Amino acid sequence: MARPNIEPVVWRAPRAGKPPRTPNLPPLTVRPVDGKGTEDVLVDTEGRVITGVEDGRILRIADGRVDVIADTGGRPLGIEWFPDGRLLVCDADRGLLLVSAGDVEVLVPAGPNLRVCNNAAVAADGTIYFTNSTDRFDLEFWKADLLEHAGTGQLLRRDPDGTVHTLLRGLHFANGVALAPDGSSVVVAETGEYCLRRVWLTGDRQGHSDVLADNLPAFPDNTSTGSDGLLWIAMASPRDPVVDLLLRTPPVLRKLVWRVPERLHPREKRVVWVRAIDFATGAVAHDFFGTTPGFHMVTGVREHGGRVHLGSLEGRAVASFDLP
């Protein structure tokens, strides 16, 4: 597919924070799968890991086995449990889906109002909070959205009756979504602004939004609410000073950079990084950073019973580690 044109917007990024001074990533268990792009991970009641890969298959991994349990016919990204036990899948090609073995129900179709359905969180009553990362580019060209920095992403809500509402507009590559354990707020990751925004769902601040965490030292990707009640963040790659510099240069320079061959573009760093913060204060509870052979670029994270599971947009594996 021909590379689309970009219309860059000048933005001055805040000074980046630092990763942990000493690598502190616990030993990883890496489980290869037959497919690329295990972008998100989910865990069932038996501790088996579920992920989607770029050819549309939904895989279940356990005890050295990898089983195909469904196929969306598109490109699955975020995966969550729906209250009735089906899988809620954000599919970049097809939209917001409910999936079970042999059956795919489209809740919100991909189209002009849902260009890249990316990640979601589900309330107990079936209300779904989900992201449209960008109105400008297909998933294949996600880097174009970061380089353009126009801010066309959205946080959306689908009510149980099927009505869809827009909660936030103007997001810079809207990505991970997580609900506070008490249902008081929903948090969305803005990958292009290195921050997490929060929308209050109850109380005196209902309907208002604020910033829960800003100036993150990495590109935040998918998020999830852990069984420990913390907000877990996949830190896909440390921030790149070259990218931050480009974002504040004249638009014509970024247009030229976008035209050079892909192999010459800035690349993600080959690290594994996840962070967990408090939903109320944004205080950091865990910050694990390091490297391991055969796995990098964490885009999905799920804490379940003291074990942390990881997925990767670029990987052909899932990984996990035990909390110290």
pLDDT number for residue 70: 96
Q: How is 138-151 classified by DSSP, letter by letter?
A: -GGGHHHHHHH---
Domain span at residue 229 reads 29-322
Which residue is listed with tokens 């950073």?
Answer: 289
Evaluate whether residue 18 is within a structural domain.
no
**How many independent structural domains does the chain possess?**
1
pLDDT tens-digit map of 78-108? 999 999 999 999 999 999 999 998 899 999 9
Burial of 235 (0-12, 13-18, 19+ CB in 10 A): buried
> What is the Cα–Cα distance from 240 to 136, expressed in whole angstroms?
23
Which residues pair with residue 38 across a beta bridge? 312
Could you tell me the pLDDT band of residue 246, with boundaries at 50, 70 and 90?
very high
| pLDDT tens, residue by residue, 10-54 | 999 988 777 777 899 999 999 999 999 999 999 999 999 999 999
Structure tokens at 301: 């994270």
Q: Does the structure show a pLDDT above 90 at 223?
A: yes
Beta-carbon contacts of residue 280 (< 8 Å; ≥ 6 apart): 180
How does residue 320 score in pLDDT terms, banded at 50, 70 and 90?
very high
Reported confidence tier of residue 218, pLDDT bands at 50, 70, 90: very high
Please say if the pLDDT value at position 57 is more than 90: yes
Given a contact cutoff of 8 angstroms between Cβ atoms, the answer to whether 310 and 26 are in contact is no
Quick one: DSSP state of residue 125? T
CATH code of 210's domain: 2.120.10.30
Judged by DSSP in three states, 252 sits in helix
**If phi over 0 gives left and psi between -120 and 50 gives alpha, with beta otherwise, what is residue 140?**
alpha
**220 pLDDT exceeds 90?**
yes
Tracing tokens 């795919």 back to the chain, one arrives at 104
Is residue 247 situated within a structural domain? yes
Return the percentage of the chain with pLDDT > 70, whole number: 100
267 pLDDT exceeds 90? no
> Mean pLDDT, the chain, as a whole number?
95
Question: Pick from 37, 16, 10, 60: which is nearest to 249 by CA?
Answer: 10
Note whether residue 10 is domain-resident.
no
| C-alpha triplet 322, 276, 288: angle, nearest 5° | 55
Average pLDDT over residues 158-169: 98
Confidence of residue 64 (pLDDT cuts 50, 70, 90): confident
Q: Specify whether the CB–CB gap between 250 and 10 falls below 8 A.
A: yes
pLDDT tens profile 172-203? 999 999 999 999 999 999 999 999 999 999 99
Residue 119 · residue 105 · CB < 8 Å: no
Backbone phi and psi for residue 214, each to the nearest 5 degrees, phi listed first? -125, 175
Helix (H) or strand (E) holding 247: helix 241-247
| 57 compared with 261, residue with greater pLDDT | 57
Determine how β-strand 317-322 pairs with β-strand 284-290.
unpaired
Return d(Cα 26, Cα 279) in angstroms, integer.
24
Whether residue 14 lies inside any domain: the answer is no
Average pLDDT on 246-250 reads 94
Give a yes or no: residue 16 inside a domain. Answer: no
Q: What is the pTM of this model?
A: 0.97
For residue 15, tell me if it sits in a domain: no
Q: Is residue 20 part of a domain?
A: no
Asked if the structure places residue 17 within a domain, the reply is no
